[in-house]
Structure 1
Amino acid sequence: MSSPALTSTTDAPPDTRRTLAGWAVTAACLIAFMGVGVVDPILPEIGHQLGATPTQVELLFTTYLGVMAVMTLFAGNIGARVGRRRVALIGLGLIAAFALACGLSGSIPALALFRGGWGLGSALFTPTALVLLLALIGHAEKAIMRYEAAIGLGMSMGPLLGGLLGSHSWRYPFFGAAALMLLALASVATLVRVPEAREPVRPVSDVFRAYRQPAFLAVGLTGLLYYFGFFLLLGYTPLFLHLSTLGLGLTFFGWGLLLGLGSTVLAERLLHALPASRVVLGALAGLTALFVLIGFAPVTVPVKVTFVILSGTLFGLMNATLTTLSVEVSHMPRATATSAYNFLRWLGAALAPVSSGLIAEHLGAPVPYAFGAAAVALAVVITALAARGIDAARASDPHVH
């Protein structure tokens, strides 16, 4: 995918404008993912205040992620028709509007509905932001590392903000997220100037055609199973640990910091030193063990909190590695490959929260972690079977250095 030239109303040199635009998109990504994590510490309080079961509370994640999964099939074509910058702005505007609506709502059905709208905004913005960063930075691995670093920092700062504001009222984190998204909208509107030239509109069937390549299908299925585990931990753990709102915020702040570390420094070093398949296998094996320890180890809550925080390193490493593989092993255009991968990963993510609530209610509080461990272990098997094909497909990508 060629990098579009940038224009601006300022007199700054082109490289400076490109740099500023790249950082504006990065900051918007960080704020957008703060909006995901900001909900985490307030889930128990929402359930208490609104008299909701764990399954009903988890709908706040499931509707958000389900809409994201479906809409990623169409986000690429919407961007091609409307323009990447416009789609990014529309997405940011929708996130701000629905975050505000969540703060004003008074029932679980309303919250779930508005979180679905929030997911629509994220589905438009998130893949578009990655495409913009790939164009602005010009180097796939650097762009993906920055994108994942923004996600990691956002996922760490979001729970901290949610814990601080949510200790006063569960509504305040939603209002805070809405205000921050408006700031992100203003920065992207001001600093990012990408010519809105029409791109070829590809049929949605192209997304499914990407799965015909065995290496890419293996990466996608691994992403589906892995993100089931990721959002099981993120969505269910606040209900399992029985910490205060601020305690949950601090726990996931530490988790998010290690998520950012794993997706940047650790991922960059390991992907240059080892085959990507070996990195994935090692991280998934470690996560399988951590799921078992969090759910079933006969240890105190502080020790389980430590396990949760430490898991952030492996989750960050997996996020960056799988995102890198999704654009480097596919022979399809990057926008199509991104949509195909995002559909599978968000589908897996959407299944995790509500199923964890149902499993906990019927089989016991620790049991969801057994399902998380099983999903991640199955991803190990898929990656092991496809390891040679994945590494060979990545090596054949001309963008890999």
Structure 2
Amino acid sequence: MSVFRQQPRAVWVTAFAAVIAFMGIGLVDPILNTIAEALHAPPSKLTLLFGVYLGVQVVAMLITGWSAYRFGPKKTLTVGLALIVFAAGVSAFGTNIDQLIALRVFWGLGNALFMATALAFIVGQAKGGQKGAILLYEAALGVGLAVGPLLGALLGTFTWKAPFAGTAILMLIGAILCAWMLPPDGPRTTRTPVGFSAPFQALRNHTLLVTGIGSAFYTGALFTIVAWAPMALSIANKASGHGGVGPIGAGLVFFGWGVLTAVSGVFLAPRIADAVGQKAGVMVAIGVYSVVMALAAYGAIEHSVIIIGLAVMLSGFPSGVLNTLFTSVAMSSGDAGTPRSVSSAGYSFLRWMGGAASAIIVAHLAEWFGAPAPFWFAAAYCVIAIGAVSLVRTGKHDHEPVAQDAALIGAEEL
């Protein structure tokens, strides 16, 4: 496509770094069981690798706007990459699970600083308008989500430390390229001042608040898949008389999940929005997600690796649609005087809070009620999310194309 060929070097450098940053989301999934065996870590500790990461990201999302104003987008973006390099690199030398959990604090902070500024930078620097920039960013998102689990699986066959080392090396290359090739930040006087309390003030908008609550419950279901499915696969495999699911098996499952998430987010979501509207599209997609969660729960009951793996991959379809449409429901009715980045930060705070809470509690649910329980709870989260979205008042923007608003903000949150 010509829109990709004409982009300046700085855009490609930022997109390359974005691919690596998105890889970090699913990198740990294929090696969770390997980490558990090597470090003798219980499930409650393993899920903290996601809970702590997301929890820090929740808080950090509130300061990224201030950071970009105070220090400049390039410095904020580069520092974020440096923090990821540090966290991933030191993780490769970790000797216990508590060290890895502590390092995920820095990883989550770095991810928030990078992701909150990378998309805005690409949009500002790209040629061909917003549409071309968003397509490029969505492509980076899709490649990262798909390649991350596969890379983690391949390197994880050698040692659980290898995926962390590989990510650190790739991200170091991205950080050096960004520091070298990105244009310098302009003077602070040319930037819009952003205060710490601005995201909370944006949540005074009833529609934004209600939609954020609905998104929090959906994201809780999403991170049930991310944080619990690898262990559910291993439990099912051992119960059926086999050994645990290896890194390659888990990596292929999550590779399929990432590919379907990317494809549905880019190609399917706009068509659904055009056909039934953004709000209805979100409600239908969440309904489908709840059915897939029930399928995963049934697979856990039957100790079927095939059913659980199929459910994980199929969840990519509604998840990709929701990643693109959910935020558009919130933003289409936002206050005209509130900057988009501020509304996005407030909304992201609620959304990621749901993911962090789910990732922390998921192992305890399994301990209390059995391995299928987290998936049943995820299905219930989806029902609550549908109820919240049903309270959203739709406006004239509900049937408008989602390519600009939803992708621009939704991708930023992932």
TM-score (norm 2): 0.87
Query: 1:95 is matched with which residue?
Result: 84
Q: Deviations over 1:33-82 (max 9, x none)?
A: 11221111111111111111100111111111111000110111001111
Residues 51, 213 of structure 1: CA spacing in aligned structure 2 closer, same or farther, 3 A cutoff?
same
1:326/1:121 CA distance change after superposition, 3 Å = farther
In the other structure, the counterpart of 2:251 is: 249
1:247 offset after TM fit, Å? Answer: 0.3
Q: How far 1:16 moved relative to its partner?
A: 8.3
Instruction: State the one-letter code of the partner of 1:230.
Output: L
Check if 1:231 corresponds to 2:233: no
Deviations 1:252-291 (A, max 9, x none): 0111011110111112333334311111011100000000
**1:294 aligned partner:** 296
Change (3 A) 1:221 1:139: farther
Structure 2 contact 149–254 (Cα < 8 Å) conserved: yes
Deviation at 1:203, TM superposition (A): 2.1
Measure the CA separation in 2 of the matches of 1:206 and 1:144. Answer: 25
- The 1:101–1:52 alpha-carbon spacing in structure 2 relative to 1, beyond 3 Å, is same
The one-letter code matched in structure 2 to 1:196 is: G
AA paired with 1:99?
A
Query: Shift of the alpha carbon at 1:185?
Result: 1.4
Q: 1:154 to 1:388 in 2, by over 3 A?
A: same
User: Which shows bigger deviation, 318-327 or 303-312?
Assistant: 318-327
Instruction: Number of aligned residue pairs: give it.
Output: 385
Q: Which one of the candidate residues 172, 177, 182 is aligned to 1:187? A: 177
Aligned to 1:382: 388
Equivalent residue, structure 1, for 2:198: 206
Structure 2: which 5+ runs fail to align?
235-244, 407-414
The aligned residue for residue 370 of structure 1 is 376
Alignment check: 8 A CA contact 1:149 1:263 kept: no
Shift, 1:360, TM fit: 0.7
Q: Which stretch shifts more, 360-369 or 215-224?
A: 215-224
Written as runs of structure 1 = structure 2, the 5 A alignment for 1:337-348 is 337-348=343-354
Extract unaligned runs of 5+ from structure 1: 1-14
Q: CA deviation at 1:225?
A: 1.2
Secondary structure (helix, strand or coil) at the match of 1:204 reads: coil
Given that 2:51 and 2:356 are in contact with CA atoms closer than 8 Å, whether structure 1 keeps it comes out as yes
2:320 pairs with 1:316: yes
Question: Percent identity between the aligned chains?
Answer: 34
Contact 1:149 1:261 in 2 (8 A): no
Instruction: Tell me if 1:24 matches 2:13.
Output: yes
Helix, strand or coil for the counterpart of 2:391? helix
Using structure 1 for the length normalisation, give the TM-score.
Answer: 0.89
Q: Deviations over 1:71-113 (max 9, x none)?
A: 1101110011111111001101110111001111111111100
- Counterpart secondary structure, 1:73: coil
Contact 1:328 1:394 in 2 (8 A): no
The residue aligned with 1:303 is 307
Distance 2:108 2:197 in 1: 23
Deviates more, 1:269-278 or 1:280-289: 269-278
Q: CA RMSD in A?
A: 2.4
- Corresponding residue number in structure 1 for 2:334: 330
1:4 aligns with none
- In structure 1, how many angstroms separate the alpha carbons of the residues matched to 2:176 and 2:6? 16
Q: Does 1:64 align with 2:53?
A: yes
Q: Tell me: CA distance 1:122–1:394, structure 2 relative to 1, closer, same or farther (3 Å).
A: farther
Give the Cα–Cα distance (whole angstroms) in 1 for the partners of residues 176 and 330 of structure 2: 30
